[in-house]
Amino acid sequence: MVMADLNRIKNVILFTRGTMGDIYPFLRMGKALKFKGLNVTLVSNYCYREYAEKNDFAFVSLDDQESFEILNNPDAHTDREKKLRLFKDHMIANIPREIGVVEGVLDDLGKTAIVANSNDIFTPMLIAEKFNLPIYMSVLAPSYLYGFVLFEGVALTLSK
């Protein structure tokens, strides 16, 4: 992660969700940012609150147990059509609510940046655009690059 002007940035929102493998790198980044004196907020699945608290990060939950189970249902990830349905019916439908919960913790906007996991970019990009925040995307595994073809499918599905 590279931040152009660390002297200006005082607050960092770490936006990621998924498995512990998705969360752990953000916990490490957050520790380094805290060490530099920045305020860190982890925005993630409800079940990772204790990890944020253990690291003295603020925490914003994107979901509850029911929503987490829908998102992580292995059957929903078995083929492209099911993934697209999951994105349309669950991920896309929840974006306005997610923007609202993050908006509730935004302060000092001129000094806040978002660091987002590349496997979950819709909401963070919309937040960055709405509030004019710098955003830094983090690609944590080469396999994520193959997931970018999903965006084309999502765009086609939403345009129908």
3-class SS of residue 18:
coil
3-class SS of residue 113:
strand
Which CATH code fits 11-158?
Answer: 3.40.50.2000
CB 43 within 8 A of CB 144: no
CB 116 within 8 A of CB 124: yes
Give me 42's structure tokens.
Answer: 């982890």
pLDDT, tens digit, for every residue of 110-153?
789 999 987 778 899 999 999 999 998 887 665 555 555 555 55
pLDDT, tens digit, for every residue of 14-47?
999 888 888 999 999 999 999 999 999 999 999 9
